[in-house]
Amino acid sequence: MKIKLTEEVWKEGSMFIAYCPELDIPACGVTIVEAKKNLIEVINIQISEMKKLGTFKENLEKAGFDLANKLEVISLDKELMEFNNILVTA
């Protein structure tokens, strides 16, 4: 089974933060490439631990994934289309 997830990358000070909002998992790195690599590693560790604990299905369903479809790739019904900075007056 493959899971389609979102990856956000942020710059915070001198570090880069890669974040998966569906699983609420962050990772960091000195470069964007390192942060993204670390995020995949942390996600894989989290999935492995959830499977060991028997909470894999429960946690994915809580995140909104429909596991009943038995599809090769599961994803949420929503998809990020844009991500922009905007300026508003407060």
Calpha distance 20→9 (Å, rounded): 9
Residue type, 13: G
Q: What is the pLDDT along the chain (90 residues), one digit of tens a residue?
A: 899 999 999 999 999 999 999 999 999 999 999 999 999 999 999 999 999 999 999 999 998 888 887 788 888 888 888 888 889 999
Which uninterrupted H or E stretch holds 28? strand 25-29
Q: Tell me the CATH architecture of domain 2-68.
A: 2-Layer Sandwich (3.30)
CB atoms within 10 A of CB 35: 22
